[in-house]
Amino acid sequence: MLFSSTIFIFIFLPTVLLVNFALRGHRDAQNVFLCFASLFFYAWGEPKFVLVMMLSILVNWGFGYIIDKHREERTAKLLLVLDIVFNLSIIFVFKYLMFTLENIKMLGAKNLVIPEIALPIGISFFTFQALSYVIDVYRGDAGVQKSLINVALYISLFPQLIAGPIVRYTTVADQIKNRVETFDDFSQGVVRFIFGLGKKIIIANNMALLADYAFSTVGDNSLLLAWLGALAYTFQIYFDFSGYSDMAIGLGLMFGFHFLENFNYPYISTSITEFWRRWHISMGTWFRDYVYIPLGGNRTKTKGRHVFNMFVVWLCTGIWHGANWTFVLWGLMYFVLLVFEKYSGINFKKDGKCKSIKYVYTMFFVICGWVVFRATSLSEAVVYFGDMFSCKNGLISDGFLEYGRQFITYFAVAIVCSTPILPKLKERYKDNVLCSGLMVVVLVAIAIFSISCIVKSSYNPFIYFNF
């Protein structure tokens, strides 16, 4: 079930909200209801894979409980290792086994049979959340949760279940039992959800039309059309994913949960380091806390060890995004750029000199990175770069002129919404009655237009559902 679908907006969400508020004052009943509603939400599109999630919930709850019982013994570490192996094995089988076997077959195992394994939506997200719970219990950063229902609610809670943000158990542990639903939170949640819906339907889906066209004609694009398509995908993936995160955070607020922010205007960054502090924040902090710091982080004695730690993190980051060599290359590209920024001696701080040059440098590599990310293979990425950096198909084409005219308004909106201009204006004029009224009008217009688009047309699923 998609947030941007009529069945979710008009049936599922109102029903769940109504029952949830009817159960106010009965927290255990609320949690049981939200847990089963979340499992139903997942099972709507993935009926057989809900069993995989339920297995994950049961096993991780059990490991957390047993590890807490044996905290002072060596057994606890062994149990933690077994839990990590279990969770990574689930991801490997469903996400990477086919890719691994295909590469083995290419190396000479011609008779190797490769099974067709469907990918459960959002498996990396809910598995990482389950892992963080058990690891935090082992470290003593979180108290063990004896209630299976409460662990199930944490892992399966539908607002952030399919595409994040990746919520740490410590963030919502107290809220599971002691959250307070308020009118202010609910109204803020509705506003946040509508803006997220607008990002997805109005901007991301329209940018997808141009991006899909450019990548479907790879090798035949004029130079400017290739760049226009790459820029369209750059906006598509940002507004698609940040729009989902906005909707997830908004839905959480409606039910009394406060999730941490997942994006902070990454396209205003003047360095790759800053970009990754602003992009997919929950994933970045997860790898930092559970991979980078345990390896030694930046407090190692040698430069070589620090570079190795960064290599492992960015290799894992690339692999996490998908079973394709394009994702591996994408992750390693950022590893090289981040090592360069760390050890080149160039001042990449935002308040340094030549900010415009640093901004161009950052966005150049971000856009090129998204080309690799979007391509279906390394060879396709190479051909697309050939379109971007040569005039073999000409500088300008009819396609560029047609799509440029058609999408110029969407590009203008995307550029403005990629910056904090609008939030700053809202904060500046928050006490102005006229501006407050205008915001309500804009909000209603976004809601009506987005819903009309959903009703009358087909639309793309969220990009990060595949991760």
The values of phi and psi at residue 127, to 5°, are -70, -40
Could you give the angle at which helices 27-45 and 169-178 cross, rounded to 10 degrees? 130
* Nearest in space to 385 (alpha carbons), one of 364, 406, 405: 364
Instruction: Give percent of the chain above pLDDT 90.
Output: 66
Structure tokens at 16: 């769940």
Residue 215's φ and ψ, nearest 5 degrees, are -80, -15
Q: Which two tokens stand for residue 235?
A: 């906006």
Residue 352 neighbours by CB under 8 Å, 6+ apart: 358
pTM of the model as a whole:
0.92
Cα–Cα distance list, 369 to 7, 52, 85, 240, 342 (Å): 35, 33, 31, 17, 19
What pLDDT does 284 receive? Answer: 93
In the chain, what's the furthest Cα-to-Cα distance? 72
Nearest CA to 40 out of 25, 19, 61, 62 is that of: 19
Highest mean pLDDT among 114-128, 184-198, 294-308, 388-402: 184-198
* Mean pLDDT over each residue of the chain, to the nearest integer: 90
pLDDT at 35: 95
- 165-224 residue pLDDT tens: 888 888 888 899 989 889 999 999 999 999 999 999 999 999 999 999 999 999 999 999
Instruction: Answer whether residue 27 shows pLDDT above 70.
Output: yes
Give me the pLDDT at residue 171, please: 86
* CA angle (279, 280, 283) in 5-degree steps: 135
Say how far apart CA 47 and CA 65 lie, in whole Å: 28
Residue 306 designated active-site: no
Q: Would the pLDDT of 76 be above 60?
A: yes
Kindly list the domain boundaries of the chain, sorted by start residue.
Answer: 25-180, 185-466
**Does residue 355 register a pLDDT over 80?**
yes
* 465 pLDDT tier (thresholds 50, 70, 90): low
pLDDT, tens digit, for every residue of 52-67? Answer: 999 999 999 999 999 9
